[in-house]
Amino acid sequence: MTRCEFFTENDRITGFSISGHSGYAEAGADIVCAAISAAVTMAEATINDVCGAKAKVRVKDEQARITLTLPASCDEEETVQAVLSGLMLTLISLREDYPDYIEVLEV
């Protein structure tokens, strides 16, 4: 199962951690993992490359984990929050379709 955690502080999403393989299908054929990876990649690229937020990103391949942490403030804060909210809603939608393979938590 893939675990998606969104970190919040004072109604602000401060980052996320996505870890684990969904187990829906074999590696290379897992549509749940592919959908999660595409959504996370788009969000990270938008936050850092488009908005210039300079979020810290850590990838641990051996644990199948990516963690993104925002700085204390961003120039494009409203846009960055919209992207993170959109990512959360996308992952929640995937959870509704594949409840045995993905969990989404707000911590």
For residue 94, give the CATH number of its domain. Answer: 3.30.70.1490
Number of structural domains the chain divides into? 1
| Both structure tokens of 24 | 């829906």
Indicate the pTM of the whole model. 0.95
Q: What's the domain range around 75? A: 2-106
Q: Residue 63: what pLDDT?
A: 87
Cα separation values, 3 from 51, 66, 75, 78, 85, Å:
26, 11, 29, 26, 17
Give the Cα separation of 71 and 60 in Å (integer). 20
* pLDDT < 70: residue spans in the chain: none
Q: Residue 62: what pLDDT?
A: 87
CB-CB neighbours of 17 under 10 Å:
17
% the chain with pLDDT above 70? 100
1 and 22 Cβ atoms separated by less than 8 Å: yes
